[in-house]
Structure formats: structure tokens, C-alpha cells
Amino acid sequence: MKARHFLLAAAALFGGICTLGLWLDQRAILTETRTGAVAGTTPVPENSSNPGAPGAGTVAGTSSSAGVHRTPHDPMNDAGPNKVHLGYRPGSAGYDALPPGVYYQNRVVVVTFHDISPSFRSRYTITPAQFEADLDAMEHAHLNVITNRQFIGFLQHRAHIPDNAVLLTFDDGYSDMYQYALPILRAHHMEGTFFVIVGKADQPADHAGNLGYMTWAQLEAMHRAGMEIQSHTYNSHYLVNVNGHLVAAFNTPIPVNGHMETRREYLTRIQGDFLKAREELEQHLGAPCTQLAWPYGWGTLTATHTALSAGYRYLYTTTPGPVTPWTAPDAIPRIDIGYDTTTPAEAVKDILDTARG
């Protein structure tokens, strides 16, 4: 009888321990979800007086789950083909000793420009001379600009990338990109990835509230010249006032005809926008459109799921950080070096600092 009581007590204790362990696991998952411990959780608000200009407005909120998949821990010291080598100062304490001129391996720093023009229009405007000086500085520092095809292959674990890899991206699709950025890139034998507001194509420069966007003829010429053209939404690059906060239109229901959108209306609107951008780019350029850069730098989990369901596979944020073999493709980090006050030396330093992670 005593033995039976002992066995029953032991079984009850074991069951209690298992229940406690399950409860702790669930608490950990809930805590991770509530704190946004997923890739790309920090939105980067941008400021401008023009909602249609680069970085318009101040985005409400301080965190959002912009990625669906959690980015695993970056095992800097793991062995194997995916090991990341980082030698910001080759041979210095805390870094792998790499050959001279090699600062990092098996990772990419994605950089962003917005407006390249001789005329100052915002803090995101740099002159063509500044842009060319930035590219010269990258070359002098032995940074290697890779193509979009190489970058996607790297994310898919099927392509080798050079040391010190950098991907150049350009947001919004202003006509100055065709006039100034394209010839400079071609002179340097470099490729850029251009995220365009598709609904603005062919919109003239004197149209109210914009700075002039590339025409379809220009976008097609850019594509033929080897540039990658992808989506910056169809026409969702604007902010709305929701309860006193400026919020990106694709991240929230908005007032329509005197009432706030229902969830169904909101999802229908943003999915229609994402799909229309894809369809028009593919129709005009004859190439797949599977990449989207979020206006204002981030998308909510709802917006992210909707973009993925609309056929996008790669979503770009403005959360700073390097891209490694473990980066979630729906939360690709980028850094903005296209400020009017950023010198070429500072741009290179920003890239190297970002590569350090």
C-alpha cells in the first residue's frame, strides 16, 4: 500500500513538473510575441513636410513586428560554409584576421538613396557629384557592389557573394534617377535596385504634391540597362491622421466617406494596392516582381502577411543591420546613406560599422 501511494505521489509530481514546463514555454512565446521579438521589429520614422516626398511625416509607434519569421541567432563562431567572417580592423582583438582590404565576408550591407538632384529639395537630396563621390569612396575602400540577382541568390543559400558586399537601393522612383543615377552607375559598371511608387509612373513634375517620377519609357530603359525595378507600393506612400498620429496608409484602416474602414475593407484596399503594383511592373517590364520596400521603413504583421499573400517574397525595411545567411527574407534590413550632410568617408564608415552588426 505504501509503495502504491509512493508511486501515485511520484506520478503527480512528475505531471506537475511537465505542466509547469509547458506553462513556462507558453509564457515565453507570449512574451516574445508581445515584445515584438521578431525580425525587423523597430520602425524607423522619417520626417518631411511633403507626404509624397522621401521620408514624409512622423510615423506613430515605436515598435512593430515587421517580419513573420524570427531571425535565428547569428552564430559568428560556428563552423561550416555559412560561417560569417568579420574583420573590421584585420588582426585586431575580437575580430578574425582577414587579408588586407577584406572587412567582412558572407554578409551584405544594403544601402538606400532617395533623391539625386542638383537642386536641394529635402535632407534626402544629394547632388550627382556627391553620389559619384560615394561610389568612388566605396571602390577605394574595396567594397564590392553586387547585383540584385546575386543578393537574392545569397538569401536563397545558392549563390556566392564577394567579400565586402554592398547592395545599392533607391526608393520612390523620381525621374532624377534616370537622368543622373543611371549614367553614373553605368560609368562605374554597377547595378542598382529601384523601388518605385508604381501609380506615380508618367505623373508630370508639376502635378500637385510630387517631385516628378520616372515614366514607363524611362523605367523600361532602366530595366534594359540592367537595373532592377521593384515595388514601393502602387499608391500607398502617404500618411493618414489616426487619433492624432500620422500612420502609413498601408499599416492601418483609414477614414473613408465619413467612417473608418472595416478590417475587411482595409485588407481589400492594401492587397489590391500590392497586387496592382506587381501586375503593372510585370506587364510593362516582362520580369517578375517579388520584392517590396516599405514606405516609411516598416510594415505591421498584418501588412506583412498581406504582402506575402500578394506574391511578394522579399520585404525591405529601414531597420539597420547586416544581411546574413540567417536574415528573414520578409524583414531585410537597410541603412540610409543618402543624406545631404553625409560625406563619402562617413558613408563608408556607416557601411563598415553596420557590417559589424
pLDDT digits (tens, 9 = 90+) for 308-328: 999 999 999 999 999 999 999
Whether 263 and 191 map to the same domain: the answer is yes
Whether 265 and 219 map to the same domain: the answer is yes
> Is 338 within 8 Å of 353 (Cβ atoms)?
no
DSSP assignment of 207-273, as one string? STT---B--HHHHHHHHHTT-EEEES-SS---EEEETTEEEEGGGS--EETTEEPPHHHHHHHHHHH
Total of domains in the chain: 2
Distance of alpha carbon 128 from alpha carbon 164, whole angstroms: 24
Whether 115 and 31 map to the same domain: the answer is no
Find the Cα–Cα–Cα–Cα dihedral 114, 249, 37, 22, rounded to 10°: -160
For the record, the C-alpha cell of 80 comes out as: 561550416
> Is 168 within 8 Å of 190 (Cβ atoms)?
yes
Whether 48 and 158 map to the same domain: the answer is yes
Distance of alpha carbon 46 from alpha carbon 54, whole angstroms: 8
pTM of the prediction? 0.74
Residues of the chain with pLDDT under 70: 1-98, 204-211
SS3 state at 164: coil
Whether 115 and 18 map to the same domain: the answer is no
Find the Cα–Cα–Cα–Cα dihedral 280, 285, 144, 150, rounded to 10°: 90
Whether 202 and 312 map to the same domain: the answer is yes
What's the CATH code of the domain at 299? 3.20.20.370
Q: Which residue, among 135, 208, 223, has the nearest Cα to 173 in the 3D structure?
A: 223
> Is 109 within 8 Å of 84 (Cβ atoms)?
no
Phi, psi at residue 10, to the nearest 5°? -65, -40
Domain encompassing residue 25: 1-35
Distance of alpha carbon 262 from alpha carbon 91, whole angstroms: 58
pLDDT at position 204: 66
> Is 211 within 8 Å of 203 (Cβ atoms)?
no
> Is 338 within 8 Å of 46 (Cβ atoms)?
no
Rounded alpha-carbon distances, angstroms, from residue 139 to 109, 134, 142, 190, 355? 15, 9, 5, 11, 16
pLDDT at position 10: 53
Whether 11 and 149 map to the same domain: the answer is no
Whether 69 and 17 map to the same domain: the answer is no
Distance of alpha carbon 96 from alpha carbon 93, whole angstroms: 8
SS3 state at 37: coil
What DSSP designation does 292 have?
E
Whether 78 and 183 map to the same domain: the answer is yes
pLDDT at position 242: 85
DSSP assignment of 329-347, as one string? TTSB--EE---TT--HHHH
Backbone φ/ψ region at 172: left (φ over 0), alpha (ψ -120 to 50), beta: left
Whether 57 and 13 map to the same domain: the answer is no
Whether 30 and 52 map to the same domain: the answer is no
Whether 30 and 113 map to the same domain: the answer is no
pLDDT at position 124: 81
